[in-house]
A and B are shown apart, each in its own frame.
Chain A
Amino acid sequence: MRDPDVVVIGAGGDGPACASRLARAHGLDVLVLEGGAWHGNEKWPEPHADSGGTISTDPDDLDGKLLDEQFTVREADANDPTWGYLRVGPADHSRAPWFRNVPQNLFLWQVSAVGGTTAHYFGNHPRAYPYAIDEQPHWPIDYEDLVPYYQLNEAVTRTQQAPMTNKEEVFIAGAERAGYDRIDTLNVTETGWRPQPNAIEAPPADLDAKYDGSFSYDDGFRGDSLAADHFQGGPTPEDAPVREKARKSSNVSWVPRALDTNADPELGTVAIRPNAYVTDIATDEGAGGLEATGVEFRDTWSGNTATVEADVVVLAAGCIESPRLWLNSGLPDDGWVGKGLTTHWFDWIVGTYPDDAIEEINGEANMDPFVGQNSAVRFDKPGVGGMEDIGMTPGLVSFGNYLFSRAGYSFDAEVDPDEPWDSRGYVVGKELKRRMANYRNTKALLILTDDLPRRNNGVSLDDTFADEHGAVPEIRWEPHPDDDAKRDELARIAARIHREAGAEHVHRCDWPPLLLHMQSSMAMGKVVDENAQAYNVDRLFVADHSALANGVGGPNPTNSGQALALRTADRIGALYF
């Protein structure tokens, strides 16, 4: 594609949604440039060992069995931050990940690939709390403006209620005994629990404890297979074509839909080029000031560079790389580029259960965290944040439950006797092995605090290190005392839910910042206007989670990021084409 109407920088969670909408609803030709690899595309049969092809426009290039081979769902193979296939780094696995300077006790978790960080998400698609958009003083648009886009996104990603299995039943029992009611709506204004709205196809009706059939698509299996492999890439059901994988990360949902436009002469076209890292946004002095004219990118395998001209440039590189590229491109910064980063000031409250407590609820002494979806039930408290019941594989559990803290080691960390947890901090040594020996009866509740944007949190250019793409990003994030107070409140609720469900031991990890849900580093109302167009550069839009004006109140942000990207595509079409 030599002369696209629009170039989209990044094929993560949001870029493909924006690109598809531009081609489908506005007839535009769109080139999407992605810095990372493309898994499950036959033009790149060995995406981490060989440079493979150049560009893909044909949905028939997508190959689900190839994706099965590449997404082994082995834990270290997938999630190791240095060498896993789901890391931030060049596709070439003989090279190190992309360096970000993080001078604090903080873990930054992203994926560079077609599909971006949705390549390893849980598939949760709750909407923002209406409160977070309408009643916090951040957003120049109304919640109701986003609802039609939520509905479109939920249709394409087949968002529905998650299935309840044994571990969820334990959570529900705890929440109801603690006095919380079920919420039946997608537009949440009250406190309670509900199944996760998630972008994972429901399991088949005949899948139950007696099922002894195959889990292969080729044998007729459809939908979710209850294998909690979503953080390892989630390619189940095995053998399914890419677009029929149960979990609709954007490489499964929006990417095929975007490529489908190429077969319809009535629509625009979409081309996606992986291994293409954008290093500069070109601008010109236009009639009304600075305007974007295209981009320069670098092939991550060959090192060759090229330029692309376009009528509109869309930044969708994520909350870290979008501001980094802006700043490395020398675009004007009036003080909010990269700032105001929100991250749902997480915490992690772990319950360990005796067999009889689980048996009383489920009829069997079984809460295996590897059965069912990773996160299928949630708690909502608009104004404060949310909570999610989590089950994962043991490598992730040992890290999340016991090896990630800001409280020091549990053998030294004092526990306030008035607090409802028994221990806090890192758990190591014999106690770690004892807790992990009880892995099958352990579950964690993830706290998602509604942290608000603050200017001194975010991304700047590092003054020590650079790589071939320019100065690397330096990332800092510290909580505000108000956010700490909200997190403490949610942690106490989580501990109470565990207790009511019968947990014999409750542990509070007191996580340091885990930057996984990242939002608002190029916020609407600060860096971009109500159309998501940059205040200071015409024809430059932001269509990723960084354009969200806050952390949407605490719910997982993917649905909101994608909905806003779809709306932005419509604004681009209306303003320029």
Chain B
Amino acid sequence: MSAEATAKLTRKDFVSDQDVRWCPGCGDYAILAQVQKIFPDLGIPKENAVFISGIGCSSRFPYYMNTYGFHTIHGRAPAIATGLKISRPDLHIWLVTGDGDGLSIGGNHLIHALRRNVELKIMLFNNRIYGLTKGQYSPTSELGKVAKSTPMGSADYPINPLSLALGAEATFVARSIDVEAKHQQTTLTRAAAHKGGAFIEILQNCNVYNDGAWDSLTDKGTKADNQLLLEHGQPMIFGKNKDRGIRMNGMKPEVVPLGNGVTADDLLVHDEYDHTLAFLLSRMTPPAFPTPIGVLYSTERQTIEALMAKQLEDAVAKQGQGDMDALLNRGNVWTVK
């Protein structure tokens, strides 16, 4: 017990010796800090943690974590992490990606990693812009986004990361914000504890190419009116004075002021095990609605690595440990004297 106590890791144990090279003021610093803060409490031996990333500003993340890490290629981190997790279920694998890396070039791999329920903790930093390639619009940029590659405004519609994850049968879907330290810690800790793949969208500010993308959600003056903090079993109330809520009107959600006969009892209650509700929440976007923050959805389903490991076990139980000479001699064998 005492040895364990003295061996308790601290935040510092997870800080690598590399200089962090993000732009000053980048939202990534805050996320890195929260991850390093929660890690000592996750009970994961440092050597069993692996950070895998693709390409982009966010994907430099593994270099800054003093764990195992693999900075791979554009969009393909989910595939690489899947192979690692299947063959090494003992490892705790975190995947760091951005809106370009994860939803554009790597959209296919992301979908399939989620549907397979590979136990990866996928943090998708969403700043709605391409940072590392210097300011082109991204798949989450709003229609009409004026950026370097779209001087007249982008002509494509954005993708909704949470709807996509839910559509891909993700077993844990959540959202947090770079500047919300406590909320991020809670959400990431929940994701870490989830038995299965977890997808966390983290709204993140790029102060160089898309500064203020989430201002309405993060500015002290407006955030209470624009964030909907989800808590399982609690009615959906928001606003500076906790004076508004979400109510169902037939099949449609609506924002209603509390009072004048409308009470918390009339409001939608969050149930994070309800897939339909989660999808509905993922569709709630400003300006009509506040932006939901927290765990939208959580369910349990066997992971691909567990199913595959079981198949290997069953095969051995049924056929015995593979014997090489038997394999070589399989089929029509004849002897020439």
Q: Are A and B bound to each other?
A: no
Residues of A within 8 A of B (CB): none
